Chain A
Amino acid sequence: MKKRRVVITGVGVVACNGIGRDDFWQANLQGRSGISRITAFNTDAFDSKIAGEIKNFDPALYIPADVVKKVDRFVHFGLVCTKMALQDCGLDLGQEDKERIGVILGSGLGGMMFHEEQMLAHFEKPGYRVHPTSVPRISPNAVSSHVAIQYGCLGPNLVISTACASASHATGEAFRKIQWGDMDIAVTGGVEATLTPLNFEAYSVLRVLSKCNDAPQEASRPFDLKRDGFVLSEGGGVVILEELEHALKRNAPIYAEVTGYASNSGAKHMVIPDLSGTDAARAMGAALKDAGRRPEDVSYINAHATSTVANDRAETKAIKTVFADYAYKVPISSTKSMVGHSLGAAGGIEAVVCALAIKHQFIPPTINYKNPDSECDLDYVPNEGRRVKLDTVVSNSFGFGNCNACIVFSDFKGD
C-alpha cells in the first residue's frame, strides 16, 4: 500500500496566554506571556509560586454542564479543544463514516486533580469513602474516551503517556495510522491539568521549577544564561489530521501537511536528557528522512527547550549534529517561553503553533532572552517574532524517561 498524505485541517487550543485559536495566535504574534502567580492552591510551602494557570476558563461555555461536573479538569481541556478544532475544520460529522475517525491524545498525568482530592480525603478523614466515579475520572484514557463518546468517533481510541512528549507521540502515531489506512481522520494532540498541590510539590522537589516569583512573566527563559528552571503550566492543544484526498474532496481549510515523524529513546535516565543530544539528533534526523526533507529545507524549529540548562544545551547540541553549519542559520524558538511547560499538552500546543506559523508565515519568538549562553549560540529568534517564508518546520518533544518525538510539518502548496 502506498503511504497516504496527511494534512491539518483544524486547530483548538486552551493555553495560559490565549484561549482559542485567534487569541492564542495574537499572544504568539505579540510575544505575550501567560505566566502568573498561582491561585489554584496555597503555595506557601513551595519555593516556586508561579505557573501557566488557565484563568477565566469556564468549560460549561463549550460542553454540556452535566459532562463538566463528571470529569476531571484534563478532560475539560480535551473536550473544549476538540470542539474548537472540529468547528475550525468544518467537518460535518453526520456525513462521515465514524468508524474512520480516531481519537489519539497525549496526557502524562491523567486525572491527577480528582485523584489527589480522593487520596487526601481517604487518608485524612476517618471513615471517608472513595467516590465511585474515581476510576473513570482518574484514568488517563478518560480524555480520549469522552471525546469519542461526545462525537461518536468509532475508530482507534488511545491515550499516549510519555511525559513531556505525550502529545507529540500521539500526533505522530495518529499521522502514521492515517498514512497507512487505519483511519481517515484523527482528533489528536494533548492535554494536561498539572496544577494540583501534590503534583506541583513533586516537580518542586525535583528542583526543576523556576523560582522567579517576583517577575512571573519573565520566568520562562529558554536558552538564556540566567534561566533557573521551567514553569509548570496547564492546558491543551488539539489538531484535526485528515487524509489529503478526503480533505480536498470537501474543500477543507488546510493549515499544513504533516510530512514526517520519528520517535526513539535515549535509554539513559528517567529525568536527565542525554547531554550529548545524540538521541534527540537521531529523532530529528529520522523524522526529516521520513519527510523526505534535507536539513537545509527546514525553515524553522519549534524547540522542546523547557528553560532548564540540561535540556536547552542538549537540544542545541542535537541541532548542531543534524544541521551542521546550517544550524547557525535556521531560526529556532521556544514558545514555552510564553506558555511554560504543560507536560503532556506541550506537543499539542506546539503543533497548533506550527500549523499557525506555516499558515501565517510567521515565527513566534523566544521571549525573555537577555543573556547569551555560550553553549547555546544559535538563532533563537529572541524577543521578537519574525515574518519569513516558512516551508518545512520541525517540532521537537523530549520527555522525561528519554522518550523523544519529532514531527515535521510542511506548507501545503496543493501539489
Chain B
Amino acid sequence: MTYAEIDTTVKEILAKQLSMEPSGIKSDARLSEDLGLDSFASVEVVFELEEKFALKIPDSALYEAKIVKDIVDYVASQKGAK
C-alpha cells in the first residue's frame, strides 16, 4: 500500500466519522480544533483504522496525533509505506 493510498483511506475514515466529504479533510487540519474530533470520536476512528489496516494502535499514538498528517504518517510507518 502506498502513502497516497493510506492518505486517501485515512481521510475517508475521518470524513465518515465527521459526516463530511473526504475532500474537505486537509492534511494539516488539526483534529480537535479544526475538525471537532473529540476523544470519543477518536476512539471510533482508531477502531476503524485498526480494522482497515490490520493494525494494533496503542493509546499513546492516539494522544500524539495532532493533525491529519500525523495519523497518515503513523499508519504509513507501521505499514512500511513511503
Interface residues in chain A, defined as those with a beta carbon under 8 Å from any beta carbon in chain B? 65-66, 129, 131-133, 136
Q: Does B43 contact A (CB under 8 A)?
A: yes
Min CB distance, B65 to chain A, in Å?
17
Chain B residues whose C-beta falls within 8 Å of the C-beta of A132 in the assembled complex: 43-44, 47
Min C-beta distance of A45 to chain B, whole Å = 32
Q: Smallest Cβ distance from A360 to chain B, in angstroms?
A: 42
Residues of B within 8 A of A66 (CB): 19
Which residues of the partner chain A approach B43 to less than 8 Å between Cβ atoms?
132
11 contacts between A and B (CB under 8 A): A65-B19, A66-B19, A129-B47, A129-B50, A129-B51, A131-B47, A132-B43, A132-B44, A132-B47, A133-B44, A136-B40
Across the interface, which residues of B come within 8 angstroms of A131, CB to CB? 47
Interface string of B22-50 (1 = CB under 8 A from A): 00000000000000000010011001001
Kindly provide the distance from the CB of A117 to the nearest chain B CB, expressed in whole angstroms. 15
List the A side residues contacting B19 at CB < 8 Å: 65-66
Nearest-CB distance from A21 to chain B (Å)? 30
Contacts of B40 in A (CB 8 A): 136
A65 to B20: give the CA distance in the assembly, Å. 12
Residues on the A chain within 8 Å of B50, using CB:
129
Beyond contacts A131-B47, A132-B47: 9 other A-B pairs, Cβ-Cβ < 8 A, are A65-B19, A66-B19, A129-B47, A129-B50, A129-B51, A132-B43, A132-B44, A133-B44, A136-B40
Inside 8 A of A133's CB, which chain B residues have their CB? 44
The closest CB in chain B to the CB of A136 belongs to: B40
Residues 42-62 of B at the A interface (beta carbon under 8 Å): 43-44, 47, 50-51
- B6: shortest Cβ distance to chain A, in Å? 21
The distance in angstroms between the C-alpha atoms of A129 and B50, with both chains bound, is: 10
Q: Shortest CB–CB separation between residue B42 and chain A, in angstroms?
A: 10
Q: How far is the CB of A128 from chain B (nearest CB, A)?
A: 10
**Nearest Cβ distance between residue B54 and chain A, in whole angstroms?**
11
